[in-house]
Chains A and B, each alone.
Chain A
Amino acid sequence: MATVQVSEAEKVYILHGIRDDLRVDGRGCEDYRHMEVETDVVSNTDGSAKVTLGHTAVLVGIKAEIGKPRPMIANQGYLEFFVDCSANATPEFEGRGGEELGTELSNTLYKVFNNQHSLDLKSLCISPGEHCWVLYVDVLLLQCDGNLYDAISVAIKAALFNTKIPKVHISSDEEGGKEIELSDDPYDCMRLDVENVPCIVTLCKIGHRHVVDATLQEKACSVASLIISVTHKGIITCSRKVGRGSLDPESICEMIEAGKRVGKALHPPLMKLLQQEESLGNKRQKVGFLG
């Protein structure tokens, strides 16, 4: 992971500030940095989104392919996650350097979506036991400035919202053979219901308090953080302690409560923004990567 060197004096400064609910960049303990979301940024994907959170930039592309359902769950499609830590983000990721972080992130994403309600996987089924849609969710880290988990989860939610899966019809001929027919109309496509897709909130324990959306400097001051993924209803789909320190059971409960509150508040503005962007259609001004 990209790290910064923070001196002892700087650490004390950050620590004392957080004790008084004042962070280096002027935010409160439960405030996010400025976040920008743009969907439909890569034309070759079925759905894509780019999220910038402070200086953290994440690009998510979703490709839908027809595959075979998992034998245990024949009537559902599935998601595949892959996180690529580009060497652009930090030279440490060069070669195989980013692999460890990439597996950690993708394994967490599998856990976040490992439940029945996050996404309606049954709608991804084409014919039970034979064909289904497989959504390949590829995450690319363009810039790292702390709080990767939150940025990635928001980007995934936005990209899933943007995903358009072509409609297919199954026709069977006289001999009982089945054929998949793709619709002629490119606009005839299926959308996913992303209302229940959770967002991840990372809480960094710094001193006796915890902060949301920690920068790299703040992260260097903390020994342990808790990540929890929260749906718009406040259901927790995944939680995990990361970092080399340990946490008090009492503070874990406080952090879960704070994380749920922050996570729940994250969903309505995001959905509103996505719908607004969608309604603009072609008139929308594209910002792209240099905006």
Chain B
Amino acid sequence: MPTDTKRVRGPETSQSPLLFWSRPAKVLPSHGPRADGRQRDQVDVRPVFVRCGLVSQAKGSAYIEAGSTKVLCCVYGPRETERKDETDMKSGRLTTDMRFAPFSCPERGSWIQGSQDKDFSLMLQESLQPAVCLHKYPRSQIEVNVMVLENSGSVLAHAVTCASMALADAGIEMYDLVLGCSLRQDGGSYVVDPMYPEENSWRSGSGEKQGGLTVAFLPSLNQVSGLQSDGEMAEETLTAGIRTCIEGCYKLYPVIQQALIKAVRRAALPPAES
């Protein structure tokens, strides 16, 4: 029988095998310790590695690693604003751009910014803006670029922390640092700083009350600068979740302070000594 060798004899449409392969792993136990040994119902954030000043071209930069979530942030500016039509020239503009590397998630993403990335950028901007003394930078703009190298959950929270460090590293005047923490509610219990499978397990799960929450917090002013939640939560659960996230932010605070002090010391040292 003659066959057309040039034609691919597969089905017309296909799906990634990953989609079917990962399905059994999607059902995570809702009790007992978590996959990486952390505890449920406790403010158990992942240990973080943070460092400032990696990108020499940028005015300020920072890198954060929590578990395998890796986020890099660069700050450029303040420089003259591009948009002259803005009516409010007395204060500066903060622009944010958050992108996911195509290889950052289990499924390949595209380089073009999707609507989800735009949403993250907006959330990042709203979380950072209250902390930056924008009135000190009239007619200028400050650009914050965040690149997610690897997404292993709680990306937005870590992006907020990373971006505020980069702003501090750039010497931009700020009222306070901004720290981010997220939480996933799963029925009666919750997990702080969820990992990627924990974040996405509920879509196929049962109809229990599940939801996600991300909080951006200014620790020394005791102000919440960013808040977003989805899923289903009762009022008490939501307010308790916000308090838990704030507690998580306080845990992060000394680590970030240390990293900033270290960066300042390194910059202050004359290069000949090292």
Q: List residues of A whose CB falls within 8 A of some B CB.
A: 71-73, 103-104, 106-107, 111-112, 114-117, 224, 226, 234-249, 252-253, 256-257, 260
Contact = CB atoms under 8 A, between A and B. Distances in A.
Contacts, number: 104
A180 B75 CA distance: 55
B115 A248 contact: no
B229 A247 contact: no
A117 B118 contact: no
A240 B15 contact: no
A253 B235 CA distance: 9
B153 interface: no
A71 B21 CA distance: 13
Contact of B235 (A247, A249, A256): A256
B184 to A, nearest CB: 13
Given A72-B19, A116-B207, A226-B227, 12 more contacts: A107-B118, A114-B230, A117-B207, A237-B211, A237-B233, A239-B238, A241-B225, A246-B223, A247-B227, A249-B243, A252-B224, A252-B242
A253 B239 contact: yes
13 contacts: A72-B203, A236-B229, A236-B232, A236-B233, A237-B231, A241-B226, A243-B126, A246-B130, A246-B218, A246-B221, A247-B223, A249-B246, A253-B239
Contacts of A241: 126, 224-228
Contact of B15 (A71, A226, A246, A256): A71
B129 interface: yes
A235 B229 contact: no
Contact of B239 (A114, A242, A246, A256): A256
A240 B242 contact: no
A248 B222 contact: yes
B233 A235 contact: yes
Contacts of A111: 228, 230
Contacts of B230: 111-112, 114-115, 237-238
B201 to A, nearest CB: 12
A145 B209 CA distance: 35
A3 to B, nearest CB: 8
Nearest to A114: B230
Interface centre among B116, B131, B223 (most CB of A within 10 A): B223
A54 B64 CA distance: 47
B105 to A, nearest CB: 14
Contacts of A236: 229, 232-235, 238
A73 B238 contact: no
A107 B238 CA distance: 20
Contacts of B228: 111, 238-241
A112 to B, nearest CB: 8
Interface residues of B, number: 38
Contact of A237 (B203, B207, B232, B246): B232
A250 B191 CA distance: 23
A114 B227 contact: no
B208 to A, nearest CB: 9
Nearest to B200: A72
A248 B238 contact: no
B259 interface: no
A26 B221 CA distance: 35
A245 B131 CA distance: 9
A30 to B, nearest CB: 16
Interface string B193-211: 0000000000110010111
B163 to A, nearest CB: 15
B122 interface: yes
Interface in B98-133: 115-116, 118-119, 122, 126, 129-131
A235 B231 CA distance: 10
A71 B15 CA distance: 8
A73 B15 contact: no
A235 B236 CA distance: 10
Interface centre among B126, B218, B246 (most CB of A within 10 A): B126
A235 B225 contact: no
Contact of A246 (B19, B209, B224, B231): B224
Given A116-B207, A239-B227, A246-B225, A234 B246 contact: no
A235 B211 CA distance: 11
B91 to A, nearest CB: 10
Contacts of B207: 116-117
B227 to A, nearest CB: 4
A233 to B, nearest CB: 9
Contacts of A71: 15, 19
Contact of B232 (A106, A107, A116, A226): A116
B211 to A, nearest CB: 7
Nearest to A245: B130
Contacts of A117: 207, 232
Contacts of A112: 230
Given A73-B204, A103-B118, A256-B239, A247 B224 contact: yes
A249 B225 CA distance: 10
A247 B243 CA distance: 13
A240 B210 CA distance: 17
Contacts of B243: 249
Given A246-B130, A248-B223, A256-B238, A235 B232 contact: yes
